[in-house]
Amino acid sequence: MDASATERFDVVVVGAGLAGCTAARLFALKGLHVALVKHHIDIQAFKQLCTHFIQASATPTLQRMGLDQLIEDAGGVRNGIDIWTRYGWTGDIAPIDKSGEPVFGYNIQRRTLDPILRRLTTNTPGVTTLFGCGVRALAKRNGVVSGVELGGCRTDLVSAPLIVGADGRTRRWRRSRASSQISRRTAVSPLFALIAV
Ligand SMILES: Cc1cc2nc3c(=O)[nH]c(=O)nc-3n(C[C@H](O)[C@H](O)[C@H](O)COP(=O)(O)OP(=O)(O)OC[C@H]3O[C@@H](n4cnc5c(N)ncnc54)[C@H](O)[C@@H]3O)c2cc1C
């Protein structure tokens, strides 16, 4: 769904990479009205500089999102880790979860993963996409962060009480004003293991 001007949201998520799409979908599944803002207009865009390994610790989040089956359908391969230590190979331990099932992650290329997740998120009821827009700065009302100023396809304000910075490395807009009111949870952590919405 495309947003019309000056809408209010419960959450604005800045950046539609893995962190942003994950946060937006999980917030929306909780019933919140989410704006997902992304520089690029292309839903097929993917991170060029990355390898293919998703650790097993992320699998519960993938399952919660309904992404695990989509990864398998797209040819993602279940993986494990085998690390040499002074006590031998860790792979000999064969980890299992609470229900006794083997623990695994996935190997999948970003050119496949990113579009799958972005499509899943943009089709989630409650998520409004603002692709082709960049966040230029935080907006404040009475000294409190009240939303973001957009640039690109739209140049108005989008308001929400919670702004999630999922734009990768720290950008100028986040340093601009009152950045302590932004959730940084999604900004610096590895794939998927990070989200605790
Ligand atoms: C060589 C390499 C190999 C890696 N291999 C692995 C691996 O095997 N396994 C693993 O788990 N991790 C790996 N990583 C790390 C992984 O790539 C990152 O942790 C992950 O992609 C970060 O996702 P993100 O969504 O936080 O940020 P990003 O992918 O950087 O997404 C941020 C998004 O925000 C958008 N954006 C930025 N500023 C704005 C703005 N002002 N307004 C609107 N949108 C904005 C950008 O366009 C971008 O789409 C690797 C990294 C590198 C460099």
For the chain of 197 residues, list the mean pLDDT of each consecutive stretch of 10: 66 95 97 95 90 92 97 95 87 78 93 97 97 90 91 89 87 58 43 42
Q: Is 17 in the pocket of ligand 1 (CB under 6 A)?
A: yes
pLDDT of the residue at 113: 97
Q: Looking at domain 11-181, which CATH architecture does it have?
A: 3-Layer(bba) Sandwich (3.50)
Paired residues of 129 in beta bridges: 2, 36
CA distance 70 to 90: 29
What are the sequence ranges of the domains in the chain? 11-181
How many A from CA of 92 to the centre of ligand 1?
A: 32
Model pTM score:
0.86
| Side-chain half-sphere exposure of 113, counting CA atoms within 13 A | 24
CA distance 173 to 55: 31
pLDDT of the residue at 174: 66
Dihedrals φ, ψ of 8, to 5°? -100, 145
* Strand 11-14 versus strand 34-38 pairing type: parallel
- Closest atom of ligand 1 to CA, residue 190: 19
Q: If you take atom 17 of ligand 1, which residue's CA is the nearest one?
A: 50
